[in-house]
Amino acid sequence: MSKRGEFLSSTYPGTYLPWQSCNYSFVGLPGERIHIRFRDLVLFKRPNQ
């Protein structure tokens, strides 16, 4: 598995429908650090939450 790379939301640069969500997991070995840099981040609150 690569130690460097990019990841995108499956709908980027669009938005998700109200019933959709997106989850990512980043796992490192003991003693490793995970550094994530966002170039574009937009967060919305789901209705009724």
Peptide bond into 13 cis (omega under 30): yes
Q: Are 10 and 22 in contact (CB under 8 A)?
A: yes
Report yes or no: 6 and 12 within 8 Å, Cβ to Cβ: no
Return the pLDDT at 8: 81
Could you tell me the pLDDT band of residue 11, with boundaries at 50, 70 and 90? Answer: confident
How does DSSP classify residue 39?
S
**pLDDT score, position 41:** 81
Residue type at 24 in one-letter notation: Y
